Structure 1
Amino acid sequence: MRPPLRIAVLECDTPVDKVKAKFGTYGDVFKLLLETSASTVKGLDARSDLVISKWDIVNGTEYPKLKDIDAILLTGSKHDSFADVPWIHKLVEFTQEVYAQDRVRMIGICFGHQIIGRALGVPVGRSDIGWEIAVCDINLTEKGKQLFGKEKLSLQQMHRDIVAVYPKEVIALGSSPRCAVQGMYIPGKLITVQGHPEFNGEIMSELLTLRNKQGIFSDEQFNEAIKRADIVHDGIAVGAAFLRFLLED
């Protein structure tokens, strides 16, 4: 695929108020990640080679036309990827439509990673182990090491839902003690990660603080995770891997 790369960000949630006020919608957050990552990819110019559009698919009904884009990026979300609700059913159906054709490619992050798993027919749901939060290490497969250019990956995490098993079609990219399915890959079709390459320490700290106040995270969970919220992670390397995936012939 040659630039310009036309990437449609399917916004599957709205950031919490303080995050939205400073960083914008999740489409804006991913635009920043991809433009920053583009500076590390040879031959790619963030100013002219990325055309990023945003689509609110929770509150809106319109989806991009496949003829007008080269890729879709499914964001994270507070919603359950396994929920039996109309907008999620529509998202799964659209994801299956994209998967069935051979040109438009897919990138999935956290909830988006799980939606792609669901669209490919494997179970998604609550983990028996519980939450994985803040910066955590991911053990990479050989393909994961090749794609991300790392021996091990560190990413922000914010999930207790998982893809239970790898779909038979995909190549496994990595695992962690709390999540066996950390990333999926099919050349020319899709790449996903369970973690959040787009989150910085400020976003993570705000989410941890808010969810501690809401009683979602205990004080013990919060105190342990907040220490890791600002650890340097490999989000830019993951963003670069996404872009290289889109450039693959």
Structure 2
Amino acid sequence: MVNMIPKFPEEELMNNDSLMEEANRVLGKGKGKRFAVLLCAEDEPEYVKKKYGGYFRVFVNLLREEGENWDVYKVARNEFPKNEELEMYDGFVITGSCSDAHSNDVWICKLLNLLYVLDSLKKKVLGICFGHQILARALGGKTGRASSGWDIGLRTIHISSSSNKQFSTYKIPAMLNIIECHQDEVLELPPKVEVIGRSNKTTVEMFRYGDHMMGIQGHPEYNKDILLNLIDRLLQKDYIGDIYATELRANLMESHDPDKEAWRKLCVNFLKGRL
């Protein structure tokens, strides 16, 4: 563990995995607010590690503000914060994963137990993609395969009227474009959960539970470059076929960019208790 993540040039990141691994452990120092990324990706793409420093750095670049401390726990590798460490964190981010949120792998069951504790502590929790689904499951909902199949590419999210009034304070529009990459979704809502975002593909694109937990099905942290690499990986693993992959690439290149700055404002203000 280190106190400050160095700003490596891209070529150094490419040639020094051990340094990158150490640097990705903690970002920041001092007495500022502390947040943790619960990394649910079992194996990170080499491309993302080399070009962006890994998913942890992708999330930190999106969400970190001056003076904050950011840690990472590789929960998919059974690395979890201890119960006595939870109080020192102001919030948690649960990432995407190739695993199913409805499975009962050991680490997924441990993550569910952690989320029960975080709920009881009223800690801020932001779930992204798999994180959105596992958060819904922890709160009593049901997840599984989407009947409409894969959703990969740019999707327009329609924010509910009640949430739009609140979001407009930060100049967040009522319709937001986001990158999607999932074949699972929230099938049944947990009790007392409010749906705050929908699309023409997925009914539960965003939800909120009280003022301390929020799920987003899409990927506010992704850009087109990351998704193009992910499409290649899905093709290599035979999750999708050649024709579909070619179609996805063409559609993505012709589409608008995601509303990344608006998503940054939304996620940051939620995590920091301003939303």
- Give the TM-score taking structure 1 as reference length: 0.87
Change (3 A) 1:17 1:97: same
Q: Tell me the residue number matched to 1:22.
A: 51
Q: Does 1:122 align with 2:144?
A: no
Contact 2:154 2:178 in 1 (8 A): yes
Q: Tell me the residue number matched to 1:43.
A: none
Q: Does 1:73 align with 2:93?
A: yes
Shift of 1:181: 0.6
Q: Does 1:229 align with 2:248?
A: no
C-alpha distance in 1, partners of 2:203/2:58? Answer: 27
SS in 1 for 2:252: coil
Further displaced range: 228-237 or 149-158: 228-237
C-alpha distance in 2, partners of 1:51/1:98? Answer: 19
C-alpha distance in 2, partners of 1:99/1:60? Answer: 20
Contact 2:137 2:190 in 1 (8 A): no
Q: Does 1:105 align with 2:124?
A: yes
Further displaced range: 208-217 or 6-15: 208-217
C-alpha distance in 1, partners of 2:163/2:58? Answer: 24
C-alpha distance in 2, partners of 1:242/1:155? Answer: 13
Pairwise CA RMSD of aligned residues? 1.9
Further displaced range: 233-242 or 190-199: 233-242
- Structure of greater Rg: 2
Q: Tell me the residue number matched to 1:241.
A: 266
Contact 2:48 2:55 in 1 (8 A): no
Q: Does 1:31 align with 2:60?
A: yes
Contact 2:112 2:134 in 1 (8 A): yes
Q: Tell me the residue number matched to 2:205.
A: 182
Change (3 A) 1:120 1:187: closer
Contact 1:196 1:235 in 2 (8 A): no
Q: Does 1:7 align with 2:20?
A: no
Task: Provide runs of 4+ in structure 1 moved above 4 Å.
Answer: none
Q: Which has the higher contact order (CA 8 A, sep 6+)?
A: 1
Contact 1:139 1:175 in 2 (8 A): yes
Match of 1:214 among 237, 240, 243: 237
Contact 1:71 1:106 in 2 (8 A): yes
C-alpha distance in 1, partners of 2:244/2:159? Answer: 26
| Equivalent runs, 1:150-165 vs 2, <5 Å | 150-165=173-188
Further displaced range: 205-214 or 119-128: 205-214
| Equivalent runs, 1:32-111 vs 2, <5 Å | 32-35=61-64, 46-48=65-67, 50-63=68-81, 65-102=85-122, 104-111=123-130
Contact 2:37 2:71 in 1 (8 A): yes
SS in 2 for 1:94: helix
Segments of structure 2 that go 5 or more residues without pairing to the other structure are 1-30
C-alpha distance in 2, partners of 1:125/1:90? Answer: 19
Shift of 1:144: 4.1
Q: Does 1:134 align with 2:162?
A: no
Change (3 A) 1:147 1:118: same
Cα deviation code 1:41-85 (max 9, x no counterpart): xxxxx232x221111111133315211101010001111111111
C-alpha distance in 2, partners of 1:229/1:197? Answer: 16
Cα deviation code 1:217-237 (max 9, x no counterpart): 223322222134353112331
Shift of 1:212: 2.0
